Structure 1
Amino acid sequence: MESALLSSPRFVLSKNKQWSGQLRNYQSSFNGQVIELSHSLVRKNVCVGGSCGFTINSVFGRKVVKKKKETIVPEPDYRIPIVVLGFAGGLGYADNLIAAAPVGLLGLLLLFQTTRVRFVFDDEALEVKVGEQLEESGENVFVGGKNRWKYSSFVNWELWWPNFPILVYFKEMQTKPEGQVHFFPVIFNGKQLYDVMVERCGTSQTSGPK
């Protein structure tokens, strides 16, 4: 449009053509973006040496909006604590009380944790929270630091075993420069957990629900 205006015989352009451009609110994102481009043309009369023409100002505005990802909280899954408690009951039935006691306590602990611990996958990080109100879980009791890890810090993760997931493992570089490994019992819906891990952290090389 601007080149057509410049070449049209109906316009006499001043010797001092003025062009101005403005680029504002420009951001970039690898996770998806929406770009809106507006182009307005403003003309005003100017006279130089008795001849009148136009000064054409071109104003460009670009607005980039980062598309935020939905927060996902996998549903609790009680299969592991039920299996562990069932195994403890079997040991007790066989009069193996010495083994039944610690296994039973482990089952009760897993049952309690299933009712309260949640994995929360927000726009940029995985965070461990507790309770129905998703309250802060405090510092990690084993390695210190907040129980929140950015997806960009993940270097590897696995879900064992795909058909009946027992443990989720991941290694991140946020806690320690050399990398920190984490293990959690899968007390959440395994399929939901796997799908969101693939989406937010990249594909797992050796495991996944069949």
Structure 2
Amino acid sequence: MTTSPEPTQLPATLAPNYTIPIVLIAVAVPIAALQIWVGLIIGIFGLFLSIQTAIIKLEFTPTTLNVYRGSKVIRTFPYSEWETWKIFWQPFPILFYFKEVNSIHFLPIIFDARMLETCLEYHCPEQGQS
């Protein structure tokens, strides 16, 4: 059994969490029996999120949140530019929102939500959960 790193052990990379994709795929099957197109769309979205969960990683460093696709950094978000953040729908978190000075971002929770919240509270405590 592996344990999640502490946010002080930087960089901290969040573990993947397949809960949302699995739930979507499981829900798509009975919905498809009633409405094939709706079930198919939900199932395809669940499959898409499964693939994203496998390849997208979030890494917290001392100064930035880095988003990786595989081993390549595709986006960097400096904490100094963050205005606010929130994790929606506790106790089953499904969406992570954060606002920078010039943009807004929404990410599905496809990674360890507890570690995400721990890292956010450590790096951006004054911006969080308003």
TM-score by length of 1: 0.55
| CA RMSD in angstroms, aligned pairs only | 1.5
Q: Paired residue for 2:72?
A: 135
Task: Describe the SS at the equivalent of 1:70.
Answer: coil
Deviation string 1:112-131 (CA, Å, 9 cap, x unpaired) is 00001001111210011022
Give the CA deviation at 1:172: 0.7
Partner of 1:169, secondary structure, is strand
Instruction: Specify every segment of 5 or more residues in structure 2 that has no aligned partner in the other structure, as ranges.
Output: 1-7
Q: Where in structure 1 are there 5+ consecutive unaligned residues?
A: 1-67, 138-146, 174-178
Q: Are 2:94 and 1:166 equivalent residues in the alignment?
A: yes
Summarize deviations over 1:24-76 as a string: whole Å, max 9, x none: xxxxxxxxxxxxxxxxxxxxxxxxxxxxxxxxxxxxxxxxxxxx961011100
Distance between the aligned counterparts of 1:130 and 1:205, measured in 2?
27
Percent of aligned pairs with the same amino acid: 30
- Residue 77 of structure 2: which of 138, 149, 157 is its match? 149
Q: Which whole-Å CA distance do the structure 1 matches of 2:87 and 2:45 have between them? A: 21
Cα distance change of structure 1 residues 69 and 172 upon mapping to structure 2, 3 Å threshold: farther
| Alpha-carbon distance, 1:108 to partner | 0.5
Larger radius of gyration: 1
Could you tell me how far apart the structure 1 residues matched to 2:20 and 2:76 are? Answer: 24
Question: How far, CA to CA, are the matches of 1:92 and 1:69 in structure 2?
Answer: 45
Q: Distance in 1 between matches of 2:22 and 2:99?
A: 28
Question: 1:57-115, CA deviations, whole angstroms, 9 ceiling, x for partnerless residues?
Answer: xxxxxxxxxxx961011100000000110111111233x10111111110000000000
- 1:71 aligns to 2:11 (yes or no): yes
Q: Is the 8 A contact 1:69 1:123 kept in 2?
A: no
Q: Distance in 2 between matches of 1:103 and 1:73?
A: 29
Aligned mates of 2:94, 2:42 — CA distance in 1: 16
2:43 corresponds, among 104, 110, 122, to 104
Q: Does 1:182 align with 2:101?
A: no
Q: Quick check: which one's helix share is greater?
A: 2
Superposed structure 1 runs of 4+ greater than 6 Å apart? none
Q: Looking at both structures, which has the greater relative contact order when contacts are Cα pairs under 8 Å and sequence separation is at least 6?
A: 2
Secondary structure of the residue that 1:165 maps to in structure 2? coil
Alignment correspondent of 2:31 = 91
- Which letter does structure 2 place at the counterpart of 1:192? M
Aligned length: 122
- Mapped to 2, the partners of 1:106 and 1:80 lie a distance apart of 10
Query: Which residue pairs with 2:58 in the alignment?
Result: 119
Question: How far 1:155 moved relative to its partner?
Answer: 0.5
Find the aligned partners of 1:69 and 1:82 in 2 and give their Cα distance. Answer: 30
Paired with 1:128 and 1:196, the residues of 2 have a C-alpha distance of 14
